[in-house]
Amino acid sequence: MKKINFKSFPDKNGHFKDYGGKYVSETLMYPLEELEKAYNKIAKSPAFKKELLNELHNYVGRPTPMYHASRISKDLGSCNIYLKREDLNHTGAHKINNAMGQAMLAKKMGKKRIIAETGAGQHGVATATACARYNLECVVYMGSDDIQRQKVNVYRMKLLGAKVIPVDSGSRTLKDALNEALRDWVSNVDDTHYIIGSVAGPHPYPMIVRDFQSVIGTESKSQMKKINKKVDILVACVGGGSNAIGLFYPYLNDNVAIYGVEAGGFGLNTNKHAAPLNKGKPGILHGNKTYIMENSNGQIESTHSISAGLDYPGVGPEHSLLKDLNRVKYVSVTDKEALKAFYYLTEQEGIIPALETAHALAYAFKLARKQSKKNILINLSGRGDKDIDTIATLQGIVI
Amino acid sequence: MNRIAQVFKEKETAFITYLICGDPDIRSTEKIMHQMVKSGVDIIELGVPFTDPIADGPTIQRGVERCLQKNISLTDVFTLIKNFRKKDLSTPIVIMGYMNPINKMGVHKFAKKAKLIGVDGVLIVDLPPEESMLINQLLRENNLDQIFLASPTTKSSRLKKIIDMSSGYLYYVSLKGITGSSISDFSELKKRVIYIKKTSNNNLPITVGFGIKNSVIAKNISKFADGIIIGSSIVELIEKNLKNKKVMFNKINLFIKDISRSLASK
């Protein structure tokens, strides 16, 4: 059988085979084309790459460490667990990798105003930060339910000079914030760039965000090489899937087992989860074709996850392709399992992970218990400071 | 000649209205449709409620949410049209909506069913020509028109592609923005519409929608466009009079008559 080059997508029309594409109203076709052209011309130039690398090094704090979690490795059996410490990035998550790249691109495109959507607030904070750095006006759309559960991040964005606009339509979460940001963009395309925070949205976004996040996997490869270790298993959490694709992409053609972990919420057999790759069907949402959660009428269903960042009914189209090609195995972890992993890592390694990341940890720990002598690399995509309120409330503590 | 072509042959400026199926309820939608026809509407675009209407402004979004609370589906849209056709065999109906509910039903089934119950055209807001290959072919096979959008940002090379795939009419979005916004520059709009007509060799009626809120704007645009489309203003009249349907029907009727008169008197 002919070997598939997993890194040959998307095609020139933005399709990942059946998935991806540009399912948008006519008004957005021109700005998307303009963005794609600018991206190919500016962002792929050696000068841009050099400048971005310099920014990532001096401003963001890259390369992030590759940490061998020896206590938990030993406690769980014979596997070695490595953590790619994206939580140690400036602003505390992988989101800044993409925000910096796109803000720099927007500035060079002559845009004055940046809009973004955010769920947990991490992408909003990262975008607000990059906008402060590059002197760009910043407007962040956030579902009013998410504003309630992520108050600290809302305040951070305001301190950074961003305007946070609550979104009261639909399910008042990430998907509705994305709708509102798209509406803003349609109305203000001349001076505004939209920084999508995940590998979702219409082409070229899934490609651009993946490329900017791929620094995670590229760094990981060279770091593991340096310590002479071969990675056997990669694990990352998948909401929209940007941290996951960032880690996976550089490894796609390598002999490595890859797991993407979706939010199982109260369990896949309830309807309270956010696992479209496990339980959804291909459909069209937010400008692309991908696995989504919908009802029998094709209406998008509201999702549930303990982590706002995974609470999304769609997923990046490249993940849909990787699922169909059986290149990545998409699994899920419940709220409860994620919480357990959250406490475990905090107590055993002194690292407080984001609740999103805790999903990847929970599944990786399961694997570590079952497998022997494997090197497991987990994308520690973000730190858990933003979730402290949620955790304390669960424990019945008022901070 | 199909019903849509017939309208553009007979009318100098076609009067097209949009309303959401099930707003404020299914029976009222049908009643408003018949009443609209009586008062001078030529083509009705019937909206399919969808949870994530990315091209619509707040007024239509709220209308859609009203319908979703009652679980109005694409199947209900078909049922409504079937009932409407029992009394009206001449007014063209265009189904307007987003791709996912159609995808869920299955495009083959959708096209067949639409033809069977008397739909004339289909406008899928988030389906540009690039993603329309299959459905365009299926609609053609069933003698249904696919209406596409063109916007102020559409470049001439794409415009040709859009016109090639369009039949029935072209829906020119008058402004950069969402439904319910306001038009600011009429002379620019006129230039664009005339340019698009030329590009299509006058073979495709060019209609204008978005931002037409009263008879003055409607009349202005009717001087150069083949049709005008009004949506948000009607949905707003429904929303403002939810408590009294009699008043609602009456106000919509007066509004429609006013626009209709202004189109006739140019």
Closest approach of A164 to chain B, Cα-based (Å): 18
pLDDT of residue A149: 78
Give pLDDT, residue A20.
98
Nearest C-alpha neighbor of A199 from the set A94, A315, A308, A290 = A315
Of A29, A188, A284, which has the smallest distance from its Cβ to B103's Cβ?
Answer: A284
d(CA A286, CA B98): 11
Question: Are residues B53 and B68 in contact, defined by beta-carbon separation less than 8 angstroms?
Answer: no
The answer to whether the beta carbons of residues B115 and B142 sit under 8 Å apart is yes
Q: Give me the residue from B100, B173, B177 closest to A26, CB to CB.
A: B173
| Option in A26, A169, A188 nearest B128 (CB) | A26
Q: Compute the average pLDDT of residues A302-326.
A: 95
Average pLDDT rounded to a whole number, residues A295-305: 95
Residues A321-372 have pLDDT tens digits of: 999 999 999 999 999 999 999 999 999 999 999 999 999 999 999 999 999 9
| Tokens representing residue A296 in the block | 């029998």
Strand A80-85 versus strand A66-68 pairing type:
antiparallel
Contact B54 A25 (CB under 8 A): yes
Active-site annotation holds for B45: yes
pLDDT in tens, B81-137: 999 999 999 999 999 999 999 999 999 999 999 999 999 999 999 999 999 999 999
pLDDT at residue A205, as a whole number:
98
Query: d(Cα A20, Cα A206) in Å, to the nearest integer?
Result: 8
| Separation in Å, CA of B56 to nearest CA in chain A | 8
| Span between the terminal Cα atoms of chain B, in Å | 27
Going across the sheet that includes A329-334, the strands are A66-68, A80-85, A375-380, A233-237, A257-265, A329-334
Rg of chain B, C-alpha, whole Å: 17
- The Cα B257–Cα B194 span in angstroms is 27
Q: Considering only CB atoms, which chain B residues are within 8 Å of A31?
A: 153
Residue B229, SS3 per DSSP = strand
CB B177 within 8 A of CB B153: no
pLDDT at B183: 75
Question: Which residues in chain B are closer than 8 Å to A27, comparing Cβ atoms?
Answer: 55, 149, 151-153, 173, 176-177
Residue B200's CB: how many other CB atoms inside 10 A?
18
Q: Which amino acids of A are annotated catalytic?
A: 95, 117, 381
Of A22, A170, A297, the CB nearest to B104: A297
- pLDDT tens for A117-139 read 998 899 999 999 999 999 999 99
Lowest model confidence (mean pLDDT) among A167-171, A272-276, A358-362: A167-171
Q: Regarding predicted confidence, which is higher, A366 or B178?
A: A366
Q: Chain A residues within 8 A (CB-CB) of chain B? A: 13, 21-27, 29-31, 169-170, 175-176, 179, 182-183, 186-190, 283-287, 292, 294, 296-300
Tokens of A120: 């947990």
CB atoms A26 and B151 under 8 Å: yes
Quick one: pLDDT band at residue B203, thresholds 50, 70, 90? very high
Tokens of B161: 């592609």
pLDDT at B172 over 90: yes
Radius of gyration of chain A (CA): 19
ipTM of the complex: 0.95
Q: Bigger pLDDT: B137 or A390?
A: B137
Q: Among candidates B172, B147, B131, B52, which has minimal Cα distance to B93?
A: B147
Pairing label, strands A375-380, A233-237 = parallel
Two tokens, residue A229: 């270790």
Do you know the residue count of chain B?
266
List of chain B residues whose C-beta atoms are within 8 Å of the C-beta of residue A35: none
Q: Number of A:B CB contacts under 8 A?
A: 121
Q: A96, A124 in Cβ contact below 8 A?
A: no
How far apart (Å, rounded) are the C-alpha atoms in residues A384 and A381? 10
Q: Closest Cα to residue A93, out of A219, A206, A246, A230?
A: A246
What percent of chain A shows pLDDT beyond 90? 91
CA-based nearest distance A197→chain B, Å: 17
Q: What is the pLDDT of residue B49?
A: 98
Element (H, E) at B163: helix B156-165
Instruction: Give me B109's structure tokens.
Output: 């089934």
Cα(B252)–Cα(A136) distance, rounded to whole angstroms?
A: 45
Q: Are A182 and A213 in contact (CB under 8 A)?
A: no
Which of B50, B101, B127 comes nearest A23 by C-beta?
A: B127
**Peptide bond before residue A65 is cis, with ω within 30 degrees of 0:** no
Average of per-residue pLDDT values in chain B: 95
Bridge partners (DSSP) of residue B208 are: B172, B228
Reference B16, options B2, B37, B35; nearest CA is: B37
- 8 Å CB contact between A204 and A347: no
d(CA A228, CA B227): 70
Please give the pLDDT value at position B106.
98
Among all residues of chain A, which has the CA nearest to that of B130? Answer: A22
Tokens (6 digits) for A179: 């709708």
pLDDT at B177 over 80: no
CA distance B92 to A91: 56
Residue of chain A with shortest Cα separation from B56: A183
pLDDT band at A173 (very low <50, low <70, confident <90, very high): confident
Mean per-residue pLDDT, A223-237: 98
State the pairing for strand pair A233-237/A288-292: unpaired
Question: Do the Cβ atoms of A77 and A88 come closer than 8 Å?
Answer: no
- The two counts, helices (H) then strands (E), for chain A are 16, 14
Q: Which helix (H) or strand (E) holds A233?
A: strand A233-237
Task: With a cut of 80, say whether residue A298 has pLDDT above it.
Answer: yes
- Which phi and psi angles does B214 have, rounded to 5°? -155, 175
Q: A299 contacts in B (CB within 8 Å)?
A: 49-51, 68, 73, 100-101
pLDDT bin (cut points 50, 70, 90) of residue B231 is very high
Chosen for mutation from B67, B77, B126, B181 (greatest number of chain A CBs closer than 10 Å) is B126
- pLDDT interval class at A1 (50, 70, 90): low
pLDDT in tens, A112-122: 999 999 988 99
Distance separating alpha carbons of residues B192 and A130, to the nearest angstrom: 38
pTM: 0.96
Cis peptide before A63 (omega within 30 of 0): yes
Backbone angles phi, psi at A258, to 5 degrees: -125, 130
pLDDT digits (tens, 9 = 90+) for B23-43: 999 999 999 999 999 999 999
Whether B266 shows a pLDDT value over 70: the answer reads no
What are the boundaries of each domain within chain B?
Answer: 3-264
Residue A289: Cβ-neighbour burial (10 angstroms; 0-12, 13-18, 19+): buried
The 10s digit of each residue's pLDDT in A149-160 is 788 899 999 999
Which residue out of A23, A37, A288, A312 would a mutagenesis test of the B interface target, given it has the greatest number of B Cβ atoms within 10 Å? A23
Q: Which residue of A has its CA nearest to B177?
A: A187
Task: Using an 8 Å CB-CB cutoff, list chain A residues near B177.
Answer: 27, 186-187
Q: Tell me which CATH homologous superfamily contains domain B3-264.
A: Aldolase class I (3.20.20.70)
Look at the alpha carbons of B199, B201, B204, B208 in this order and tell me if their dihedral is positive or negative: positive
Instruction: Retrieve residue A163's tokens.
Output: 């305007």
Counting other chains too, the contacts that B214-220 makes at CB distance below 8 Å and 24 or more residues apart are: B214/B258, B214/B259, B215/B258, B215/B259, B215/B261, B215/B262, B216/B262, B217/B183, B218/B259, B218/B262, B218/B263, B219/B262, B219/B263, B219/B265, B219/B266, B220/B186
- Of the pLDDT bands very low, low, confident and very high (cuts 50, 70, 90), residue B186 is confident
Whether residues A27 and B153 touch (CB distance < 8 A) is answered with yes
Question: Is residue B213 scored above 70 in pLDDT?
Answer: yes
Maximum CA extent, chain B: 49
> What is the number of H-type helices and E-type strands within chain B?
12, 9
Backbone phi and psi for residue A381, each to the nearest 5 degrees, phi listed first: -65, -25
Write out the two tokens for B143: 């003698």
In whole angstroms, what is the distance from residue B98 CA to residue A258 CA?
A: 34
Q: How many CB atoms lie within 10 A of CB A79?
A: 23
Q: What is the pLDDT of residues B46-86, one digit of tens each?
A: 999 999 999 999 999 999 999 999 999 999 999 999 999 99
**pLDDT of A286 above 90:** yes
